[in-house]
Every structure is written in C-alpha cells, then in structure tokens.
Amino acid sequence: MRIISIMSALMAAVVLASGSPPLAAQLPDTAGNRAVRRLPANAVSVPFKVGERLEYEVRFGSLKVGTGSMEVREIAEIRGRPAWHTVFTISGGIPLYRVNDLYESWFDVTTLNSLRYHQDVDEGSYERRRRYEIFPERGVFRENDRPEEPTVSNPLDDGSFLYFIRTVPLEVGQSYEYARYFKAAGNPVRIRVVRKETITVPGGTFKTVVLQPTFQTKGIFSKNGKAEVWITDDDRRLMVQMKSKLSFGSLNLYLRGSTGTR
C-alpha cells in the first residue's frame, strides 16, 4: 500500500494571454530551454523571485520521514514566453519504503498561466514520469505523447497553484473558489481561510494565516479530509507548516530554513 503520496499531498495543499513579450538577454539553461536574465516590464507583480528556496522537514506522526524543498530556480523561455521555473522535491521514507519525488512547473510571468509541468515520482516500488505541455492560447494540453485534451481558461498546474495563491489577498472567514486547475475534473479548488495563528517551527516563529484547502479528488485534501496549511501573514506568503489527519496517522510538514525570500 502506498501509505504516503507525500508530494501529491504537499502540492495539493493549496489546491488548490498570451502574446510574446520582448525578452531580455538570454543564456542557455540545463533543461534545454533558454534562461532569461530579468523580468519583462509587463510581468505580474509577485511576492517571490529567482533564488527563493524553502526547506522543509517532513514527519509522519512523530517520526521524521524525510525532507523537502521548494525553489524558484530561474526565468526560462518556453515557446517564446518568459516563465517562472519552480522545482519542488521530496526525499526520504521509512524502512523498506523510500520516496524521491521531483515536480517542476513553468508558468507565464505575465499571466501566471501554466505552460509546462513535469512529474518524476519514485515512491517505493511505484514510479511515474509525466510530461505535460499546456497551451492556454489554444485551450488544450498534452500529456507525454498522447493526443491533446481540452484545458480550462487560465490553467494552473499543481506547482503553479502554490505560487498563484501567494498573490491572492486572504481574509479570515472568507472562502475562495477557483476553476483553474488544468485538468477540468479537478475543479473547483476551494480555499477557506479559518484563522490567524502564531506558530513556531524549526525555521523560527511566524505570524500565520491558516487555510483549509479542498479539491475534487480523493485523498488528504478531499472534501472529507481534515488538513490545514499555515502561510506567513505578510506580503511573502511563505508556506511554513502543513498538517493532515489520516485514518492511519498524520502527515506534517515544517519549514526548517529559507534563503532568497523578500
């Protein structure tokens, strides 16, 4: 039994026009795209920047089972558009069950629409490699070499949702609903803002806003699930803690350090 799809749980925590602006001077990157030196003038204002890296401790109940990181690696050119390139990793596990997951997202700096999404999942005996190309201007996406499928307006993938929610004003007592997940069956994504709370994690003490996310799939963040996410109550909106209650225990995540935050 796959007792933890750790990465899926973390990515879903907040899951939830394209045009080609002129690019700045470019350098090749290691993924075969082209790295952009600076943001174009029409980029959306966001509370993150290239070089931001958050590091996490992952626990299953009281047992430390791994570490994770969340990084804004670069601005890359994807099909002629500058895009944020973010990387989310999880590694660790328990005896006889190891996890080594890598998730990458590329989303347009002018719209935050997803353009590309990669999943490399290695959990126990289960492995999965998926490559998504997303075309907001045509309203379709393609998974690996399969035929194109319809997507939604202004699509977001699992990773870009984490960064998008950081741009949204959040008011205690309010609920927010989005139909932007690129696979339509996963919509709507709902975020309820339940309270403010000051917490201490390995990375320090933070004033936070507490969210309860739900989405239209089974698992930790399903409509019947019990999970909460803590983000800093400031203009950075950093994810500092996540707790979920499962039938066989609890999966918790704690910020242990950060670099490059504003």
Cβ-based neighbour number of residue 141 at 10 Å: 24
CATH code: domain 6-259 is: 2.40.360
CA distances (Å), 188 to each of 6, 121, 132, 185, in order? 22, 25, 20, 8
- State residue 29's pLDDT score: 40
Bond prior to 21 in cis (omega within 30° of 0): no
Q: Is 60:9 a contact under the CB 8 Å cutoff?
A: no
Is the pLDDT at 190 greater than 50, yes or no? Answer: yes
pLDDT exceeds cutoff 60 at 30: no
Q: What pLDDT, on a 0 to 100 scale, did the predictor assign at position 186?
A: 86
Q: In which element (H, E) is residue 161 found?
A: helix 158-164
* Residue 140: band (very low, low, confident or very high) from pLDDT cuts 50, 70, 90: very high
DSSP structure string for 72-94: EEEEEEETTEEEEEEEEEEEEEE
In this predicted structure, the answer to whether residue 9 has a pLDDT above a threshold of 50 is no
Of these ranges, 33-47, 160-174, 208-222, the one predicted with the greatest mean pLDDT is 160-174
Cβ proximity of 70 and 14 under 8 Å: no
Choose from 100-104, 214-218, 246-250 the range with maximum mean pLDDT.
100-104
14-18, 27-31, 133-137, 236-240, range with the lowest pLDDT: 14-18
- CA contacts within 13 A on the Cβ side of 162: 29
Nearest to 202 by CA among 73, 94, 67: 67
The residue ranges of every structural domain in the chain are 6-259
From the CA atom positions of the chain, what is the Rg in Å? 18
| Single-letter amino acid, residue 168 | V
Rounded Cα gap, residues 205 and 193, in angstroms:
20
* pLDDT tops 50 at residue 28: no
Distance from C-alpha of 164 to C-alpha of 18, rounded to nearest angstrom: 17
C-alpha span between 232 and 170 (Å, rounded): 11
Question: How confident is the model over 145-157, as pLDDT tens digits?
Answer: 999 999 999 999 9
Given a cut of 50, whether residue 13 has pLDDT beyond it is no
Q: In the prediction, which pLDDT does 23 show?
A: 35
